Structure 1
Amino acid sequence: MKSLKVFPIFAFAVALFLSSFTLEGKDKPKEKIYIPPQVKKVMEETVKKGVVRNDISFSIVKNLYLPAQDQNFLILIFKAKNKDLMLLPFSEKERKKGVDFSKITSSKFNVFFWFYKLEGESMTPFKEQYVPVELNWESGVKPDDFSTYTVCTIIPEGKYLLSMAITSLDLKLIGIVNYNFTLPAPLEFKEKLALSPVFFIKSFKELQTPEIPPVVHRDYFIYSSLQLEPKLENVFSVGESPDIFYFVYGCSLNPEDKTKFNIEITYNVKKGDENVIKFAPYVFDLPFISHQIPLKKENDVNLEPGKYRLEIKVKDKISGKELVEYVDFEII
């Protein structure tokens, strides 16, 4: 049975996160004008009539979420074509004349969010946000490639339709994407355990000061004072020990030490119905779980290329509640 290599590097910083933000209340935010009328009109047509406006090519590829007091820290991951974002500062005349992409070092543009709350058959405007963006471009960037970006915000539980717009500063170029998602009510997990979306990280960095969202970043996002670069796909190389990251909802505090939990987690790596790696149980004292998972069998033999499933067994040793979840991954 394999031992788990645990590095609780995030424990202190993440524990502070729950009190580090001044969060909006759960009630409907007061009406404020964040989206210019000409952009809002196009967004409404996209939401209500399906009219597509794609002057700027981008797509939301997935979302993650983590706790933020009694709300959710929503992480939106989107891809955009380099050329479209690099051209945004230029006028239509300059774009038609032709632009030397090798000389572009930065670009500024706007991001607008319009959240609609979905309840039954009704769709109610809930929240607007404006995010000013400035990106730096390294030499050698390929204009026709797509890059990955993240933008985060704090939002209550519920079912939502998001209309997201990227525009040029003069608002003449507009790209809009609609995206549906659902968020839990973190404080309502009393009778059962639940996990936030499980993801793996390419890199991490602990920062000196927390970041208040929303901010657009390329490749990574910042959760309080943790800079995390998530992997978009659960695909690993032979011999790799990927870093996993997730949160366990619904755990009870230790009555003998109300600053700690008592969470036992056991992993198995399965190939079909066969357990190819069995890890010894490990006990965590915080519900933020982050550590490496060595994908090696007994005697340090690497897993062969192929498709596998990670079984995550969670037991809250205080309340006795248990949970089993699975995450598919591939080794190439």
Structure 2
Amino acid sequence: MGGTAARYSMFERLDLYAKVQRPHAVKFKDLEEVVNFRLIRNQIHFDYRFDYLRVTGDTVLVPITVQIPNKEMTFKATEGVHSGVLNIFGRITTITGRIVQTFEDVVNRDFPETLLQASLKGMSVYQKAVPLRPGLYKLDLVIKDVNSGNVGVVNTALRVPRYDESQLAASTLIIADQIERVPARQIGLGQFVIGASKVRPRLDATFTQADRMGFYLQVYNLGIDEASHKSNAAIEYRIRKDDKEVSKQAETSAQLAQGGEQLTIEKTMSLASFAPGKYKLEIQVTDQVGKKTITTTGNFTIKAAEKVEEKPAAKK
């Protein structure tokens, strides 16, 4: 995402995306009524989070991520396949009640009979990214399980930050279970896509020792060196457990994706050498040109990897 061409491509796509996402005729009228009439229905429990990534001085990309336990869904069996369907309705309004964005989606989950029980222990993750101006908004989010009719509702504030161009700043730190590059035609488009990368958040930030953990961060307003015409920053990664430093690494901006005064950090790491427990990831970025420092932190948890029981060998 660090390249200039990629950023301009993203601006163009976001402009088109914003036009497409203007308030439209609502398809899920029953879910809109839940919002309009403040109906309280919490039959489906789910987690959610917001992230904030600067696009321009007055536009912030806000990925809204929802995580629903599969056990909250009702599945219907047809020819050995168990299918679940969720209708999702979201509406973003200003504090005066003006509708800014409305989105609707259908999430389908299909599992074969042999995998159903294991799948019920997992999660379904959905994301909608919307471009917004800095300010205070309200988000109404309604999820309906089509097979059972159960509904879950969230009404919450959405505080979109303003990125002062004179200050060293950063996006939210995203702890992810998947970070990978996407094909050129998908840059800036689709669920979990930020620029040229797919970044899927792990909402509870809980992993096992067998997992790889990813983290993604954008840093803004770095000073530009007059000689190299590039930013010059030092980055330190620290991991702490019970306030004790257990890991430390360092690198420079020359080793990372740069785009003018912006720097993108996207990493994955093995957790095999870490003991189970609660940890804090600390990323410190020092702008060597502007002589400024910014530190961002995120918490995560590691659990012991599940042991696979070996079946006894068949007797001959």
Does TM, normalized by the shorter one, top 0.5? yes
Which secondary structure does the structure 1 equivalent of 2:290 belong to? coil
Match of 1:67 among 41, 54, 72: 54
Q: 1:168 to 1:303 in 2, by over 3 A?
A: closer
Q: 1:112 to 1:15 in 2, by over 3 A?
A: same
Cα separation, 1, equivalents of 2:176 and 2:246: 23
The aligned counterpart of 2:308 is none
Displacement of 1:175 in angstroms is: 4.0
Q: Aligned pair 1:268/2:244, yes or no?
A: no
The aligned counterpart of 1:95 is none
Given that 2:28 and 2:104 are in contact with CA atoms closer than 8 Å, whether structure 1 keeps it comes out as no
Cα separation, 2, equivalents of 1:268 and 1:315: 14
The one-letter code of the counterpart of 2:160 is L
Q: Within 5 A, what are the aligned runs for 1:195-206?
A: 195-206=170-181
Map Cα deviations across residues 55-94 of structure 1 (whole Å, 9 max, x no partner).
Answer: 6x2423322233344523322232335466555xxxxxxx
Match of 1:278 among 223, 248, 273: 248
Cα separation, 1, equivalents of 2:103 and 2:245: 47
Cα separation, 2, equivalents of 1:275 and 1:166: 41
Q: 1:312 to 1:117 in 2, by over 3 A?
A: same
Which secondary structure does the structure 1 equivalent of 2:46 belong to? strand
The aligned counterpart of 2:136 is 159
Q: Aligned pair 1:137/2:137, yes or no?
A: no
Gaps of 5+ in 1: 1-9, 88-98, 216-220, 297-301
Match of 1:320 among 291, 304, 314: 291
Q: Percent identical across equivalent pairs?
A: 18
Displacement of 1:114 in angstroms is: 1.0
Match of 1:23 among 9, 12, 15: 15
TM-score (norm 2): 0.71
Which secondary structure does the structure 2 equivalent of 1:160 belong to? strand
Given that 1:165 and 1:175 are in contact with CA atoms closer than 8 Å, whether structure 2 keeps it comes out as yes
Which secondary structure does the structure 2 equivalent of 1:23 belong to? helix
Q: Aligned pair 1:290/2:266, yes or no?
A: yes
Given that 1:268 and 1:275 are in contact with CA atoms closer than 8 Å, whether structure 2 keeps it comes out as yes
Cα separation, 2, equivalents of 1:32 and 1:135: 26
Backbone CA RMSD of aligned residues: 3.9
Match of 1:112 among 89, 96, 100: 89
Q: Aligned pair 1:329/2:300, yes or no?
A: yes
Q: Within 5 A, what are the aligned runs for 1:35-114?
A: 37-46=29-38, 51-54=39-42, 57-69=44-56, 70-82=58-70, 85-86=73-74, 99-100=76-77, 103-104=80-81, 106=83, 109-114=86-91
Q: 1:256 to 1:136 in 2, by over 3 A?
A: farther
Map Cα deviations across residues 221-252 of structure 1 (whole Å, 9 max, x no partner).
Answer: 23344223332334455597633211113324
Gaps of 5+ in 2: 304-316
Task: State the number of aligned residues.
Answer: 290
Cα separation, 2, equivalents of 1:79 and 1:329: 17
Which secondary structure does the structure 1 equivalent of 2:140 belong to? strand
TM-score (norm 1): 0.69
Match of 2:186 among 207, 210, 215: 210
